[in-house]
Amino acid sequence: MFFRWDWLRPLLTAPIVPTLGPIHPQALTVSVLEDILRAADRGDFLTYDKDRRWGGEKDEKVLREDVVHQPEHTLIPTLSRRGRGTVKVFAYGLRPTVVDEAAELAAKLASTHDVAGARVVRLLSPETAHPRGTRIQLKDFTAGPCLAPDGPVRPITAWPTAVQKTFGPFAETMAADGLAFLHTQMQTGRCGPVLATAIEGRIVGAIGPMEVRADAIGRPQLMPQYFAVLPETRGQGIGRILWRAAMHWGQAHGAAYQILQTEVGGPSDGLCRSEGLASLGFSHTTHA
């Protein structure tokens, strides 16, 4: 075994794992950390990797030989060749100097691997005052019923053909939110249903794909979705209706929970907090 759990466990102030992202706290075990090292050696997807559903090859991998694992801090670097390439160093440690140490390692490895980006990912606890970055939130489907919303939300394929044809332009408009990528996956037939709402015959909001898969310990989770509403139609409750429809779908299809990432202070962050989701902590990414 590479990692000593008695060293690492006290430093996991938020349940975030390199190459996998946020996971349920109950699934956060030393076995998962060992799995990502083995996946780096093989260059393939773990069975519970959320990115596996898109096919292809796993892009981001742990730089196993450069992991720093000590009693007071652990630094886990990853490499992605996407675009101009990026090295990220996940900094697990309570001392303020851990960020500087991670930044130094990230810069060195970016130069070694000839990539343009060097980043540090710092984990912060749920009690962090004035957090920045991304909030990790938990929707527990076992806590109570998720009622179907009172609004015009249905799978895109259930809308009239003329309405369905408006999804392409909508997706291009919301490309920054990942909808153009989602549209490409929909066209290949490799993803679950996408829920959408329309106004006057035009799609103005969507969330998906809707899929339930097992996590690292076999619990069914609702996988992360892309979620967007046209800016000019915001403020009408469309986002809340879509989100509640997705939660109703997830519960109805057997999901035990969903982990969501929201930008601190952003619209989705406020929506999830108002819906009573539990905050599991934060991640803050900086340039090295």
Q: What is the pLDDT of residues 168-188, one digit of tens each?
A: 999 999 999 999 999 999 998
Task: Give the whole-angstrom CA distance, residue 144 versus residue 121.
Answer: 34
According to the model, what pLDDT value does residue 43 have? 79
Q: In this structure, are 159 and 79 located in the same domain?
A: no
According to the model, what pLDDT value does residue 145 have? 96
- Minimal CA–CA distance to 73: which of 19, 3, 25, 1? 3
Question: 130, 154, 186 — which closes off a domain?
Answer: 130
Residue 267 lies in a domain: no
Q: In this structure, are 51 and 28 located in the same domain?
A: yes
Residue 95 lies in a domain: yes
Using CA atoms, how far residue 283 sits from 80, 114, 124, 132, 263, in Å, is: 19, 26, 6, 8, 10
Q: In this structure, are 24 and 117 located in the same domain?
A: yes
Q: In this structure, are 9 and 123 located in the same domain?
A: yes
* Residue 55 region by backbone torsions, left for phi larger than 0, else alpha for psi between -120 and 50, else beta: left
Q: In this structure, are 93 and 152 located in the same domain?
A: no
According to the model, what pLDDT value does residue 86 have? 98
Residue 148 lies in a domain: yes
| Residues spanned by the domain of 226 | 143-255
Q: What is the CATH number of the domain that holds 225?
A: 3.40.630.30
Query: Which residue, chain included where needed, has tokens 């291009």?
Result: 172
HEC profile for 217-233? CCCEEECCCEEEECHHH
Using CA atoms, how far residue 6 sits from 3, 22, 41, 122, 228, in Å, is: 9, 21, 25, 20, 41
Task: Tell me the one-letter amino acid at 167.
Answer: F
Do you find a cis peptide bond into 15, omega within 30 degrees of 0? Answer: no
CB atoms within 10 A of CB 31: 13
Q: In this structure, are 245 and 167 located in the same domain?
A: yes
Residue 283 lies in a domain: no
Q: In this structure, are 174 and 112 located in the same domain?
A: no
According to the model, what pLDDT value does residue 222 have? 98
Residue 273 lies in a domain: no
Q: In this structure, are 172 and 249 located in the same domain?
A: yes
Name residue 205's beta-bridge partners.
Answer: 197, 229
Query: Which residue, chain included where needed, has tokens 């780096």?
Result: 40
pLDDT tens profile 109-124: 999 999 999 999 999 9
275 CB burial (10 A radius; 0-12, 13-18, 19+) = middle
pTM over cut 0.85: yes
According to the model, what pLDDT value does residue 219 have? 97
Using CA atoms, how far residue 178 sits from 95, 173, 229, in Å, is: 36, 10, 12
Number of domains in the chain: 2
Residue 73 lies in a domain: yes
Q: In this structure, are 198 and 219 located in the same domain?
A: yes
Residue 61 lies in a domain: yes
Q: In this structure, are 161 and 246 located in the same domain?
A: yes
Q: In this structure, are 90 and 179 located in the same domain?
A: no
- Contacts of 214 by beta carbon, 8 Å cutoff, 6+ apart: 47, 48, 220, 221
Residue 265 lies in a domain: no
According to the model, what pLDDT value does residue 93 have? 95
Task: Tell me the one-letter amino acid at 87.
Answer: V
Task: List, for the chain, all residue ranges whose pLDDT scores fall below the cut of 70.
Answer: 1
Q: In this structure, are 68 and 173 located in the same domain?
A: no
